[in-house]
Each structure stands twice: as structure tokens, then as C-alpha cells.
Amino acid sequence: MHNIYTKIVSEIYKYFKQTGIEKAVIGVSGGIDSALCLKLATDALGAKNVTAILMPEKGISSEENFQHAKTLCQFLGVEFFAISINKFLTDFLALPWKPNDLAQINIKARIRMTILYNYANTKNALVIGTSNKTELLLGYGTKYGDLAADIEVIGSLLKTEVYKLAEHVGLPEEFMTKTPSAELYAGQTDEDELGMSYKDMDTILQQIERGLSKDDLVEKGMNPNSVHKIFRLIELNAHKLNPPHLIRAK
């Protein structure tokens, strides 16, 4: 893991040098992904150049996650702001139409990213993305929400690799043992929503990256339902990683 750590930190530093921008801003939730990204960005750019924004939703986000995020920011010595998103969510309920559950869930991620970019524009900073490779491949994220960023720090690491790197850099134990959750609604967990464990997802994704087909994976003894679900998610959500479709008039 040391070579991976060194490579990521070096690439972050190099990218910021190329852009001529010194400052970074990152949304920190108290989960392992954003915690690791905060640590990597701080190691690459220095604590004085990194700002964290904690954006809990009162009544949904756990106090434990908020305290873990706050404590990590204090330990790393980065400036941080805590901004509840509830008042912004309330405004969307006043629209001429009634947002359905999906719209109301997705707007949470888009509100948070709007806050991050508001800070980035104001302070001439770049937004650090916190999506891992498993989430990116499966489209587990909100388009123009948490998938919007100027640089993805752990986008080449599967979720299981995130844990290994987090252990290598010495993230506190509480980040390693908590159940992954985007905290989109009460009781939500990532693995329940995706329908399988990250370990199983990553095992299938690793085989797909080696060029194996659905039939190949089933023949190797992998669960057919899981295999088909992974391929289906990749197909359905590929658009989230692509720029908007451009109509060519000439």
C-alpha cells in the first residue's frame, strides 16, 4: 500500500501545481472514503491549504459520524465549517410540484456539492471528490451531486482497497469498523441498498476488469444473480461518468 499512497499524494500535488491553484475543499461525512481523501489531500497540499465542510442533515445524519468527522479535521489541523442542509431541503418542498422520494434524496447530494462549489469559487479552490472505484463503476452516486468534483482522489481504488489504504495511513479504528452509509434516509446502508457486500461486489468487478464475461463468471461458480446485477448496474449507470450528450448540428 505504500507505493499506492505515495503515488496518490504525488499526483494530487502535481495536479494542483499544473492548475496553479493551491487550495482544496472537501465534504467530510464521517465515513471512511471522505476521511481517507481528507488525509491524502492534507498530506499532499498541507493542512493550511485544505478546508473541510461538514454538511449533516439533522434527524438523519448520525451524531457519531459528525463527531468523527469533526475530530479528524481537528486532528489533521484543517479549517472546517459545519453547515446543516435542512433549511435548503425545506425550500425544495415549496416547489410548484411535489418532489418524489428519489428527487428529494438526490437533492441532498446536489445541495452539498453546490455548497462545496460556492466555497471553491469564493476561495479559488478545487473540489476534492470522494468516490471510490466501486461506486464509480456501479454508478452508486448522484449525477451532479457527490459525483461532481474537480479531482477524484480514490477513484482508482475499489472499496476493499480503500480499507487497506486507510489502515496503512493510520486512520482511527472507528472509520474502519462502521457500516458504510450515505445516510440518505434513516437506517440506510450502502450494502443493503446495493444488495450485496462490498467484498462480493469487488470480487466480481475485479474479474470483469480482467475481461471475463457474465458466462465466464457464472462458470467460475459466482452467484448468477449477483453477476447479472453488477453487469446491469454498470450498463444502466455508465452515463453518470460521461459528459452530457452533445447534439452536433454541423
pLDDT (tens digit, 0 to 9) for every residue of the chain, 250 residues total? 899 999 999 999 999 999 999 999 999 999 999 999 999 999 999 999 999 999 999 999 999 999 999 999 999 999 999 999 999 999 998 899 998 999 999 999 999 999 999 999 999 999 999 999 999 999 999 999 999 999 999 999 999 999 999 999 999 999 999 888 888 788 888 898 888 899 999 999 999 999 999 999 999 999 999 999 999 999 999 999 898 989 999 9
The three cell numbers locating residue 135: 461506486
- Cβ pair 36, 166 in contact under 8 A: yes
Q: What is the DSSP string of 95-143?
A: SSS---HHHHHHHHHHHHHHHHHHHHHHHTEEEEE---HHHHHHT-S-T
- Cβ pair 124, 131 in contact under 8 A: no
Name every residue whose Cβ is closer than 8 Å to that of residue 44 and which is 6 or more positions away in sequence. Answer: 8, 9, 10, 12, 13, 16
**Distance, CA of 193 to CA of 185 (rounded, Å):** 11
Q: Count Cβ neighbours within 10 Å for each residue of 31-41 and write b for 16 or more, e otherwise.
A: bbbbbbbbbbb
Number of domains in the chain: 1
Q: Provide the domain limits for residue 14.
A: 2-188
Residue 92 lies in a domain: yes
Q: Count Cβ neighbours within 10 Å for each residue of 159-186 and write b for 16 or more, e otherwise.
A: bbbbbebbeebebeebbeeeebbbbbee
Residue 76 lies in a domain: yes
CATH number of the structural domain spanning residue 13: 3.40.50.620
Say what the pLDDT of residue 197 is.
92
Say what the pLDDT of residue 188 is.
84
Residue 245 lies in a domain: no
Are β-strands 79-82 and 151-152 bridged in parallel, bridged antiparallel, or unpaired?
unpaired
The three cell numbers locating residue 153: 482522489
Say what the pLDDT of residue 160 is.
96
**Distance, CA of 56 to CA of 27 (rounded, Å):** 10
Name every residue whose Cβ is closer than 8 Å to that of residue 82 and which is 6 or more positions away in sequence. Answer: 53, 54, 55, 56, 66, 70
Residue 136 lies in a domain: yes
pTM for the predicted model, two decimal places = 0.93
SS3 148: coil
Say what the pLDDT of residue 186 is.
81
Residue 140 lies in a domain: yes
Residue 135 lies in a domain: yes
Give residue-wise pLDDT tens across range 59-85: 999 999 999 999 999 999 999 999 999
